[in-house]
Amino acid sequence: MSITCELSNLTSKKAKESNGGENWIKKLLFFFMVLCGLTSLVIVVLMFSRKEETGSCNGEEARVLYRHQNVTRSEIQALVSLFSDSDQVTSFECRKESSPGMWANYGVTCSLNMRLEKQETQSYQDRPWNLNPSGLEHSISSEVRVFDNLEQSLVQHREPENYEEGKDWDLSSYLRNTWWCLLLLGVLVCHKIYVSHSKAPTETKEKVSLQESLAQNQQQQRAQTGCRGAGKWRKNILLLGVIAGVSMSVWWFWDTNEKIILKRRETLENMCEERARVLQDQFNVSLNHVHALSILVSTFHHGKTPSAIDQKTFGEYTERTNFERPLTSGVAYALKVPHSKREQFEKEHGWAIKKMETEDQTLVQDCVPENFDPAPIQDEYAPVIFAQETVSHIVSVDMMSGEEDRENILRARASGKGVLTSPFKLLKSNHLGVVLTFAVYDTNLPPDATDEQRVEATIGYLGASYDMPSLVEKLLHQLASKQTIVVDVYDTTNASGLIKMYGSEIGDISEEHISSLDFGDPSRKHEMHCRFKHKLPIPWTAIISSSLVLIITFLVGYIFHDAIIRIAIVEEDCQKMMELKARAEAADVAKSQFLATVSHEIRTPMNGVLGMLKMLMDTELDAKQMDYAQTAHGSGKDLISLINEVLDQAKIESGRLELENVPFDMRFVLDNVSSLLSGKANEKGIELAVYVSSQVPDVVVGDPSRFRQIITNLVGNSIKFTQDKGHIFISVHLADEVREPLNIEDEVLKQRLALGCSESGETVSGFPAVNALGSWKSFKTVHSSEDHNSDKIKLLVTVEDTGVGIPVDAQGRIFTPFMQADSSTSRTYGGTGIGLSISKRLVELMQGEMGFVSEPGIGSTFSFTGVFGKAETYSSVTKFERFDLAIQEFKGLKALVVDRRNIRAEVTKYHLQRLGIFADIVTSLRMACTYVSKSENLAMILIDKDAWNKKDFDELLTTGKETSTRPPKILLLATSATLVERSEMKSSGLIDEVVIKPLRMSVLICCLQETLVNGKKRQPNRKRINLGHLLREKRILVVDDNLVNRRVAEGALKKYGAIVTCVESGKLALAMLKPPHNFDACFMDLQMPEMDGFEATRRVRDLEREINEKIASGEVSAEMFSKFSSWHVPILAMTADVIQATNEECVKCGMDGYVSKPFEVEALYAAVARFFESG
């Protein structure tokens, strides 16, 4: 009990836990899904922001390009307007000469270099440059178109770029995704482990066999250690996983940080390069302007006589075109004047050449060139003749006198290109600056002119001063992200001493990018140094993401840790459960053993009690004593049957009950049952009727004793609960018949189904009964047509009664062992309530179902199905050979059944048909008269007592006598009739015989024989066959190796009149038991040396089968083996231990039963009766 309690506690606990576990897993999965979703969101957002950045970058570049375009356009417009002003459009070809497309081209190329691939430039260059002079506007518009195209191609190219970037991005995101995948995989694996672990113990549980408790213990221990090992292993995995997670987060941080730094550096580089290029471009553009100016001067000042330019024109022009050179603070033109021509020059211009005052740093406004000293005498001078308004103060100053300027002039005229000075403090301003100088030649020089030639050809110098800081500042203002970046520009011509041209000291010094600048002067080198204004911010992204990973890792780790602990607990519980289960099962086995033993032990003394009581009853007792003895005897019988039932229940519960598979006649079994119970039924005045459908084969294969047990149980119950009225009707049909209700041929079934439609249908006794249809409908086996095995048949048995019925609230527990409808039932009717439970189990063993419908006050109808084998025709059991002769006699006779109730008439008809008698049915005696008058050769008329009617009967008698010479015998069917009644009836001469129902073959045959075969008086049915009678003159072989046992058995059997032969071994028995058999039965000891009882029986059966087959196939004439068509000598086992219940094994090897040793009269009778009763 305590075990059960504990077990149930544990079970419920486990159930709860398993529930909890499921929930927990669901939660975990949900949590995980949410995590995954979040992560993917974060990744997508990150990628998107990256795209944005690149996009904005491109946009910026596009803007720069547009600006260039605008500049170019406005420049051209300015030139045109100038020339149109000065009416000198004629020399428009200069545009060609100075290749005006150049800067545009250049600028575009530069911008392309900045960002785009060569391909784009090519595509641009491939495009024919429209230089058609016919329309400037046209060329401009074409330019615009080109830019438009460019922009388009830029847009187009953006995508592959993104794609490539995406690739880079993919690699690391792949790694990250792998991490998530691993996490997911881990979760799945753990789930799997959990599931498999929760399953595994049940498997092992199954393996555990109770008999081997020792082995089982070992197994358990092994399992336990295995579990422990698994737990350790899981913990290790978890630790590994957590370590991996932590290292993953560290790596993640490191990787992200690295990426951020790399990105920053890249950005810096890009921005720096961009700035450098822009600066360079701008510078180059203005360089070109200055160059153009020099050519202008050479063309219009020197190329024309008189000169088209004077100081005023120059000043005006330069002022108006100043927007083209936003970087120059001023331009000036100086003439090359050799010393020989100084006088003339000075005279011509009216001023003396002045010396440059480098020391004087007074502001421009205060500066008066007249105050300068005249230039000292030199080989040549370079006095400024034209100057922009802004620098008009330097007119007449000799440029050769300044050191920087002189050097510049010399280099410029030698190289023919623009040259730059190193940065110096500009004249009269506090800014650092450089001076650009171009030489102006008087003749067209060949492209490959030598330096001397150039010097010779030089006639003047054009100079422009650049204010570096303002230049750079202006430029940087135009560019984006000027806030974040700090730019320094250096002159690096002198490698040892960098000269800072522009810059400030602020900014993050740790990160710096240097890009070189080319201002078109190869002798001068410039560099741009860029750095971020602010220090690297704390990498929050990396920290957050890595800490997120860390948190997740720990969270997941914690969850798994929890799970592992839970698994361990569950496993432990499982172990406990298994232990308890084993104990419980052992207890169960012990219980069964105990029950079997106790039952056996009780049975033995009870047999003594019963035997003595019987003996006592045989002595002379007065009525009172007789009553006491009978009561005692009855109680003893009840006790024995109860013990048998308990034993059965125990056997079924322990699954040790196996069904036999032997061919048997169902009708015969039902006859037996009805004859057994007829006494009780008749006592109560209940009509008992048996009907078997004609479709049910004669012989089926199954377990006849269990089938009989079920029927007896149900009918016994019915009798118990039916009071003095009504009927009990047992009917057997094929399940197939019920399934197709439309083409039912069976009359009885038809009426029963009809009963379902109208409540007024008739029953056997006329009392209303519950229709069985309800329970049939619920049977799966009836309606499933799945296994239409040809060798299996499904039978549907129904037992209908008109009893008290089962209360509705008790109907649910009717099949529970030891449960009756209510506690008062046992008080009123007795019984233990175990019978139905056993019956149901037995039906289940027969692969059938049992059900019932019941209405209180009307009755109950129990139905069950069972699967039986179809017997092979030749091995048909001829259990009632003694009836064969009788049946031969009756075959072909005609009979008339007179009965008001059709269904009862059908039952009678069925019994007559079994005897080969053809029967017709009429419902009343009056109708019988007409029938009798018409038909001839009517052998008998069976009249039910209900239809009895004196007046009509007399008429019938006369009709019978009139029509036929041999009037039909008249039999009365009665449910109960005392002997006196019967003899009265018979003696009156009206009827020939009274047949007491229930009808059954043996009774019917007896009666018919008595009436039909007149004069031949037959013994009335033996009420009790005693053992002496059974065994008299029977030849019996006793096989036992134990001399004493042999002798005792011999003595016992001899006492009952048997002729006993003894042999002492299985071998000898085998020799004696060769067909044709000389023995009627054989008692075989099981445990014998050399050949035990089982083996000997098996051999005997083999031999029999061989010969039977031979007979069947006609090899051996049946006559040689006398009258029998098949051989089967009954062999009964003698065994000392009934507890071990070797019954199954006995049946398996072909034995017919067993008797316990030492012999007990009752047991012997029961065993022997089966074989000799019919013989």
From residue 1041, alpha-carbon distances to 50, 90, 1058 in Å are 102, 152, 20
Pick 416 or 1093: Cβ nearer another protein: 1093
Residues 44-83 that bind another protein (CB under 8 A): none
In whole angstroms, what is the distance from residue 259 CA to residue 176 CA?
14
| 922 φ, ψ (degrees, to nearest 5) | -125, 160
DSSP letters of 1024-1050? ---HHHHHTT-EEEEE-S-HHHHHHHH
Scanning 78-86, 428-436, 1002-1010, 1049-1057 for contacts with another protein by CB under 8 A, the matching segment is 1049-1057
Residue 1045 makes contact with another protein by CB under 8 A = yes
In whole angstroms, what is the distance from residue 417 CA to residue 294 CA?
11
Selected from 540, 1044, 1119, 1123, the binder of another protein by CB under 8 A is 1044
Scanning 118-126, 820-828, 973-981, 1040-1048 for contacts with another protein by CB under 8 A, the matching segment is 1040-1048
Residue 1047 makes contact with another protein by CB under 8 A = yes
Scanning 124-132, 835-843, 971-979, 1035-1043 for contacts with another protein by CB under 8 A, the matching segment is 1035-1043
Task: Please list, residue by residue across 1124-1140, b when 16 or more beta carbons sit within 10 angstroms of its beta carbon and e when fewer do.
Answer: eebbbbbbbbbbeebee
The closest alpha carbon to 705, from 650, 644, 646, belongs to 644
Interface with another protein (CB under 8 A), residue total 19
In this structure, what token pair is assigned to residue 179?
């991490």
In whole angstroms, what is the distance from residue 521 CA to residue 464 CA?
14
Scanning 103-111, 446-454, 749-757, 1052-1060 for contacts with another protein by CB under 8 A, the matching segment is 1052-1060
Provide the terminal-to-terminal Cα distance of the chain, rounded to the nearest Å: 52
Least CB distance from residue 197 to another protein, whole Å? 41
Pick 611 or 697: Cβ nearer another protein: 611
In whole angstroms, what is the distance from residue 732 CA to residue 464 CA?
130
Pick 608 or 679: Cβ nearer another protein: 608
Residue 811 makes contact with another protein by CB under 8 A = no
Residue 1042 makes contact with another protein by CB under 8 A = yes
Query: Are the CB atoms for 440 and 298 separated by under 8 Å?
Result: yes
Binding mask 1118-1137 for another protein (x = CB under 8 A): ------------------x-
Residues 590-619 that bind another protein (CB under 8 A): 608
Pick 121 or 1042: Cβ nearer another protein: 1042
The closest alpha carbon to 703, from 911, 556, 869, belongs to 869
Residue 1048 makes contact with another protein by CB under 8 A = yes
Task: Please list, residue by residue across 48-80, b when 16 or more beta carbons sit within 10 angstroms of its beta carbon and e when fewer do.
Answer: eeeeeeeeebbebbbebbeebbebbeebbeebe
Scanning 469-477, 633-641, 855-863, 1036-1044 for contacts with another protein by CB under 8 A, the matching segment is 1036-1044
Least CB distance from residue 1156 to another protein, whole Å? 11
Least CB distance from residue 1140 to another protein, whole Å? 14
The closest alpha carbon to 331, from 294, 277, 369, belongs to 294
Least CB distance from residue 1059 to another protein, whole Å? 12
The closest alpha carbon to 112, from 151, 84, 142, 75, belongs to 151
Pick 454 or 1055: Cβ nearer another protein: 1055
Selected from 293, 356, 714, 1052, the binder of another protein by CB under 8 A is 1052
Scanning 457-465, 714-722, 771-779, 1043-1051 for contacts with another protein by CB under 8 A, the matching segment is 1043-1051
Least CB distance from residue 1054 to another protein, whole Å? 7
Selected from 875, 1087, 1125, 1174, the binder of another protein by CB under 8 A is 1087
Query: Are the CB atoms for 668 and 699 separated by under 8 Å?
Result: no
Residue 1051 makes contact with another protein by CB under 8 A = yes
Pick 487 or 1088: Cβ nearer another protein: 1088
Residue 1089 makes contact with another protein by CB under 8 A = yes
From residue 732, alpha-carbon distances to 110, 739, 766 in Å are 108, 14, 20
Adjacent-strand bridge partners of 458: 441
Residues 369-408 that bind another protein (CB under 8 A): none
For the sheet with 1131-1135, list strands across it: 1059-1063, 1035-1039, 1081-1085, 1131-1135, 1153-1156
Least CB distance from residue 1130 to another protein, whole Å? 22
From residue 688, alpha-carbon distances to 694, 903, 922, 1000 in Å are 19, 13, 21, 10
Selected from 226, 338, 679, 1158, the binder of another protein by CB under 8 A is 1158
Pick 452 or 1033: Cβ nearer another protein: 1033
Pick 536 or 1136: Cβ nearer another protein: 1136
Pick 1032 or 1047: Cβ nearer another protein: 1047
Query: Are the CB atoms for 402 and 384 separated by under 8 Å?
Result: no
Longest pairwise C-alpha distance within the chain: 194
Pick 5 or 1044: Cβ nearer another protein: 1044
Residues 1059-1078 that bind another protein (CB under 8 A): none
In whole angstroms, what is the distance from residue 1141 CA to residue 653 CA?
15
Pick 488 or 1040: Cβ nearer another protein: 1040
Least CB distance from residue 1048 to another protein, whole Å? 5
Least CB distance from residue 656 to another protein, whole Å? 23
Scanning 374-382, 464-472, 651-659, 1152-1160 for contacts with another protein by CB under 8 A, the matching segment is 1152-1160
Residue 1159 makes contact with another protein by CB under 8 A = yes
Scanning 563-571, 908-916, 1037-1045, 1140-1148 for contacts with another protein by CB under 8 A, the matching segment is 1037-1045
Pick 980 or 1044: Cβ nearer another protein: 1044
Pick 118 or 1054: Cβ nearer another protein: 1054
The closest alpha carbon to 1011, from 1175, 880, 893, belongs to 893
Scanning 8-16, 248-256, 286-294, 1039-1047 for contacts with another protein by CB under 8 A, the matching segment is 1039-1047
The helix/strand/coil state of 97 is: helix
Query: β-pairing, 993-996 with 1081-1085?
Result: unpaired
| 402 φ, ψ (degrees, to nearest 5) | -80, 140
The closest alpha carbon to 692, from 731, 741, 735, 739, belongs to 731
Selected from 239, 1043, 1071, 1169, the binder of another protein by CB under 8 A is 1043
Residues 72-131 that bind another protein (CB under 8 A): none
Least CB distance from residue 1077 to another protein, whole Å? 26
Pick 98 or 607: Cβ nearer another protein: 607
Query: β-pairing, 1131-1135 with 1081-1085?
Result: parallel
Scanning 145-153, 197-205, 618-626, 1047-1055 for contacts with another protein by CB under 8 A, the matching segment is 1047-1055
Helices (H) and strands (E) in the chain, counts: 33, 31
Least CB distance from residue 631 to another protein, whole Å? 21
The helix/strand/coil state of 385 is: strand
In whole angstroms, what is the distance from residue 855 CA to residue 769 CA?
9
Selected from 428, 614, 1055, 1067, the binder of another protein by CB under 8 A is 1055
Pick 719 or 1058: Cβ nearer another protein: 1058
Adjacent-strand bridge partners of 514: 529
In this structure, what token pair is assigned to residue 1110?
């031979």
Query: Are the CB atoms for 421 and 408 separated by under 8 Å?
Result: yes
> Contact positions toward another protein, by CB under 8 A?
608, 1041-1045, 1047-1048, 1051-1052, 1054-1055, 1087, 1089, 1136, 1157-1160
